[in-house]
Chains A and B, each alone.
Chain A
């Protein structure tokens, strides 16, 4: 599916990191496992274009060191149930069938039974992992209206396939996550999101959706120039401002409007759905979701509660 060069590299230093978060924005305390750096899906808005120096896909071959690192972090943390993901600097599933990258992690988390691994993807194929899946692996998909996928995520799986794959994961005993990220303003986006959420309600079992994140489009200044140069109409329709962290994001009043709309639509599927905002300010949480979210700790506390509720005594 791609002609991008793939290299196996020895990584030095830490591969497991806490999500760096953003100044004055509430972070969920996610832990990233940077097993792969670079992505074959090449979505037009991908911030990796601004961060990574080339298009080479670099795969860490230090699986033993990663396990040691994970052991130390998980065993050393008693106040939260940690969540880890491989989808920060790459897509978790896009090249997984070919290179078998996640299997050792899926098996590790299954044995460990103390933390959660989230495989976050826009690539709707995890059948090769099915024999190894266990409840401690969450299969997650980023979701966007098909019209947007056609325009800006051209190498990814279509929405329907992603939702069907999510359903398949639920049927195999996994919890699934959904990520409305990036949510993008374009002409008619409200209607498209209504249909998308209706599809989710029809295809998925809401009781087995562990979490849903909402995050509107945001990117570093370096990417803004690229988007202008490449005339990405879908991505440039909304009204951007520079946030306190220097990133471009939609003006606050628009973000609030979008979050309110999505939150309302999602809750209409099932009022027990766990919906959170990715990298948002406390006042946006309050205005959009009516939740007083004081700091990162508060959000991590909500995640702990959610996980305890859905896993019962397993975790």
Chain B
């Protein structure tokens, strides 16, 4: 181990960089407190090429350190990449790092079998389709990578996102960036956007206007993908409002208007409550509200 001047290390040569993101506040604080405990690994070239320790180097630069402890090694590129990978593997890699690793192995010409073996160790299915998905992730631009990382997307949702063209993806990401998104909400939104793209050929600004939150966007998309269902829901809402159901009484309707029947729920504490509830139900029936709801569930109204 030796101390190497930071100015002798080339930070732009990212051949072996697999860490994402580079910034790490905890590591920075730790280095500021006790310095770099574990040396970085550098390839013996002029200038030195970082193999492992990209985050440590980034912190050192930010902290204004002049030198870093380093192990200088001389090996071929493939071995250097394997060192970089294995140095990071044990700590557990996030989805972007896994994608970068697989992409680098692929572009360095490692045989498929070696790549698949590593995929298994990273808890990924050794399958060409999975690999090609990860290669696509690695080639995404920074905003897309950031979105995937910060929202902690599942591979299923990433795969769904990757099916859009770059221009559309940018539009989608800028619209979703500020939203709190659960996996299922995002899946639903992406599914509806896909449907619109298939039907119309492309996604436009009208499909993704500026809205307050993910729920508002979901409702807006539902109106576009399911206009009849949305219309039925609006009609049901209007009937419910006109009915002004008292507390303790509810009418439940199948959300897809598929079941032809409805459930009328009443909460009663004694016989008097029951008589009052039945009276109210009769009143609602006499006014035609129940029939109006049944018209919706029986498919008579579009």
Contact = CB atoms under 8 A, between A and B. Distances in A.
A291 to B, nearest CB: 15
Interface string A226-242: 00110111001101011
B229 interface: yes
Nearest to B227: A239
A237 B301 CA distance: 20
Nearest to B256: A241
Given A242-B256, A251-B228, A236 B195 contact: yes
Contacts of B191: 228
Given A239-B227, A287-B299, A252 B198 contact: no
A241 to B, nearest CB: 4
B256 A254 contact: no
B198 A241 contact: no
Interface in B240-268: 256-260
Nearest to A242: B256
Given A228-B194, A253-B299, A287-B298, A281 B260 contact: yes
Interface residues of B, number: 22
Contacts of A282: 260
A152 interface: no
A283 interface: yes
A233 B228 CA distance: 19
B167 interface: no
Contacts of B260: 281-283
Given A228-B191, A229-B163, A253-B302, A239 B258 contact: no
B91 interface: no
Contacts of B199: 233, 236-237
A54 interface: no
A283 B229 contact: no
B228 A253 contact: yes
A152 to B, nearest CB: 14
Given A232-B198, A251-B256, 4 more contacts: A228-B198, A241-B256, A252-B299, A281-B260
25 contacts: A24-B259, A228-B194, A228-B195, A229-B163, A231-B198, A233-B198, A236-B199, A237-B199, A239-B229, A241-B229, A241-B258, A243-B256, A244-B258, A251-B229, A251-B256, A252-B298, A253-B257, A253-B301, A253-B302, A254-B228, A255-B299, A283-B298, A283-B299, A284-B299, A287-B299
